[in-house]
Structure 1
């Protein structure tokens, strides 16, 4: 168990990139990486005009915080623009698609909670993934 005296630290560069849905998604904190039990999180990097295909989370809320860049996120078909310093909640079951709408790379920090009963139930693709046969984000661990 992690305590304040013995934190578990994960560097984003030590985590494999997942590009199945687009962008550079890296899950840094998860049941697999640190043994957490309430959710998972990490980073997303998008080049200009790059996007993450539409999907939804049937069990989890997603919290997004833009560190840099300009994004347009579609929530059940309604566009919302967010930029540096903006945070956005994607409710459970809401279809969402992220596009880097700016001229600079975008960096986002995200967290999803609670965990789905099993990792393969955490994401439902509503648009064809960019990498056929690519892996879903593998957060691992028992539920």
Structure 2
């Protein structure tokens, strides 16, 4: 892929399978990324992203708006707007918006797993198991 490619949140169909609205923005499929991908998660009050882990990747989070309770391997932190956290590979993690405002999280996952199917392992049943996630792979 050559040239600069602009991706807007509004241009990406969100995945709701794990909970909230997850939008993979800069990915192998959208911009030819080879080392990781960047996206956003929007969690309305009461929404959560089901517990899962990444066997090949670290996940970097930045809370852009609102607050979110993050549980990693049983340890919980509340991240507010302006806070960041790294979830290490194999760190089983879950996100929940217990506040009264929408939470917007920017995340990066790196390095990439060998295939999108190997990218995460579910620990908790997702709230919308029949929903099909958008493509993030090659």
TM-score range, shorter chain: over 0.9
Name 1:98's counterpart in structure 2. Answer: 95
Residue 134, structure 1, aligned to residue 122, structure 2: no
Name 1:122's counterpart in structure 2. Answer: 119
Distance 2:70 2:124 in 1: 14
Q: CA deviation at 1:132?
A: 2.0
TM-score, normalised on structure 2? 0.96
RMSD across aligned C-alpha pairs, in angstroms? Answer: 1.1
5+ residue gaps in structure 1? none
Residue 28, structure 1, aligned to residue 21, structure 2: no
Residue 66, structure 1, aligned to residue 66, structure 2: no
CA shift digits 1:65-111 (9 cap, x unpaired)? 00011110000011111001001000000000000121110000000
Distance 1:70 1:95 in 2: 20
TM-score, normalised on structure 1? 0.92
Distance 1:43 1:134 in 2: 18
Name 2:77's counterpart in structure 1. Answer: 80
Length, aligned pairs only: 138
Q: CA deviation at 1:136?
A: 4.2
SS at match of 1:32: helix
Q: CA deviation at 1:49?
A: 1.5
SS at match of 1:48: coil
